[in-house]
Amino acid sequence: MSKRTLILLNGLLVTALAAIFLLSTSPAAAQSEGRIAGIAYNDANGNGIREQGEDGLKDVRINFASAGWDTSINTEADGAFSIDLNPATWTVTVIEVPSGYAKPSPASVEVTIENPGDTVTNLEFGLRAEGTVLPESGSPIPGPAIVAGLVGLLLVGGALVLFGQRRGAQSA
């Protein structure tokens, strides 16, 4: 075998080994993963349903955990989040919220990606401003009800003052 043939065979062998190495160490194709996506938003009326005018919140930290593996990402400027993950059952949890907001209730949901390419894109986490007082129903008290309550208190207070003055005038 000539020296030139030997060099050519060695070159082909090195090229073949390099190709095998590159193909075996390349990352998995995107179709082996599924996608989980959603939004974290300011739930202004506290009803747990995203409605018009309830804008997304930036920098809400979302954690994704499954079988001892976890990772976290922050929401974008519009409150959206999206991540590609392997098929599994994932616990998606709000772990940090911007200053002035309380964590949503519930703060976690379980999501299952059954097959590569599956997507779950409807997750919504409604955060409320801290200090928001809601009635037992969970909905905010409507403005007219607050005004009516204050007017009622004013009327009762006025009646008590008048009653007290009459009673004082009678005893004098």
pLDDT category, 159, cuts 50, 70, 90? low
What would you report as the CA-atom Rg of the chain, rounded to the nearest whole angstrom?
31
What pLDDT score does 163 carry?
A: 64
Residue-wise pLDDT tens digits, 41-98? 999 888 888 999 999 999 999 999 999 889 999 999 999 999 999 999 999 999 999 9
